[in-house]
Structure 1
Amino acid sequence: MPVLSCIKLSDDERRALLDLVWQVLEQALAGRGFQLPNAPQSETLSQPAASFVTLHHNGQLRGCIGSLSADEALWKNVCHNAYASGFKDARFAPLTVQDKAGLSVEVSVLSTFTPVENLGEVELLQRLRPAIDGLLLEDQRHRAVFLPSVWQALPEPDQFVAALKAKGGWPPGYWSKDIDIHLFATTVISDNAGSV
């Protein structure tokens, strides 16, 4: 199976993305809503790419929002998703200034999606590479995606796919030849130490 390639980021570009996330969060926590920072001086960060931004507070998930379409510059996509993760994720209350001390950021830059022939769920379970593959499943009525980082919580392919199907609203044990399968990889940038 071919390696799924992501945008190659230098250490400076990785730091720049984290800085942008923190600028967005700081502005919003100061009551200024969403403020797009100045564009970084990087051709790579100006390439169209999709991303997810995940926030943790004291090690617990605090927000995770992303996009699947590479329709804007990576740095802008990361900024929009950072704000949405902190203030628009319906599973959590918006961030407050008190949350800042224990907050950590993880940016996942997505590769292009590779379609995989649907030869059944058993074949998919055999094909998946734990800790490497991200997975998107969709049909006419359902859609769900798991980043490769989800393997940390669901290390077995059967657990991973079952939880993804549940997230997408498919009934337990359900499979259909109409489900479209896409694999992808991510480049992950994190600042586990919290605010810079």
Structure 2
Amino acid sequence: MPDPALGRALLIRARNAIGEEFGIAGQPEPDHPALERPGATFVTLTQDGQLRGCIGSLEAWRPLDEDVRANAKAAAFGDPRFPPLSKSEFARTRVEVSLLTPPVPLDFTDEADAIRQMRPGIDGMIFEYHGRRGTFLPQVWESLPDRQQFFAHLKQKAGFPANFWSPEVRLYRYEVQKWKEPEKS
């Protein structure tokens, strides 16, 4: 179950990290004991319900406080799918933070078996093949609820055709706790 106090601390830190780049004073940052422990986050930015940036860490390798700040800046200014966030856009940008569990390898016999094991709305998935990989957070199930379609798009995100398959494919699943700022008006 998501910890509201941790969520508030992460959301404020993410927004403050982006605001610092524009010279905007941040909100006071509540403390939380989890912030000192290693953690893996994804920071997703939206405007009017549309994706505006999403960058994250798949594995915990630095303190959670540092991870969420770095990923917030990367989502705002370094997502190659979008131009850097402008100061004029900042106020109407909504921040979401996802805290990932450690990825667990999926054991499957073939592609159909892998697809059967995916849990819509629960699993974030990592597709990996020969050093290339792509991931979808569990939230992506909201726009791609069909397992086959979800998996085809995941392969494309990793840089492969939708119908690509090899017995050497590696798949991992993870779950998230997520927190979102209120809608911007």
TM, length-normalised to structure 1: 0.87
Deviation of residue 55 (structure 1)?
0.2
What is the identity, as a one-letter code, of the residue corresponding to 1:158? Q
Return the match for 2:139 from 134, 141, 149. 149
Deviation of residue 68 (structure 1)?
1.2
1:17: which partner in 2?
10
Moved more, 181-190 or 138-147: 138-147
Identical residues among aligned pairs (%): 36
Aligned-partner Cα distance in 2 for 1:192–1:60: 15
Return the match for 2:47 from 54, 57, 77. 57
Deviation of residue 194 (structure 1)?
4.0
Name the SS for the 2:12 alignment partner: helix
Unaligned residue ranges in structure 1 (runs of 5+)? 1-7
1:110: which partner in 2?
100
- Contact kept, 8 Å, 2:9 with 2:31, in 1: the verdict is no
Return the match for 2:81 from 85, 91, 96. 91
Name the SS for the 2:125 alignment partner: strand
2:167: which partner in 1?
177
What is the identity, as a one-letter code, of the residue corresponding to 2:20? Q
- Contact kept, 8 Å, 2:41 with 2:58, in 1: the verdict is yes
2:183: which partner in 1?
193
- Contact kept, 8 Å, 2:13 with 2:29, in 1: the verdict is no
- RMSD between aligned residues: 2.2
- Contact kept, 8 Å, 2:5 with 2:32, in 1: the verdict is no
Name the SS for the 1:56 alignment partner: strand
What is the identity, as a one-letter code, of the residue corresponding to 1:48? P
What is the identity, as a one-letter code, of the residue corresponding to 1:99? E
Unaligned residue ranges in structure 2 (runs of 5+)? none
Aligned-partner Cα distance in 2 for 1:50–1:100: 24
| Structure-to-structure mapping, 1:4-83, within 5 angstroms | 10-30=3-23, 41-83=31-73
- Contact kept, 8 Å, 1:118 with 1:180, in 2: the verdict is no
Aligned-partner Cα distance in 2 for 1:59–1:26: 20
TM, length-normalised to structure 2: 0.92
Deviation of residue 134 (structure 1)?
0.6
- Contact kept, 8 Å, 1:53 with 1:81, in 2: the verdict is yes
Deviation of residue 141 (structure 1)?
3.8
What is the identity, as a one-letter code, of the residue corresponding to 1:110? L
Name the SS for the 1:102 alignment partner: coil
1:5: which partner in 2?
none
1:3: which partner in 2?
none
Deviation of residue 60 (structure 1)?
1.1
- Contact kept, 8 Å, 1:29 with 1:95, in 2: the verdict is no
CA pair 22-39 structure 1, distance change in 2 beyond 3 A: closer
1:131: which partner in 2?
121
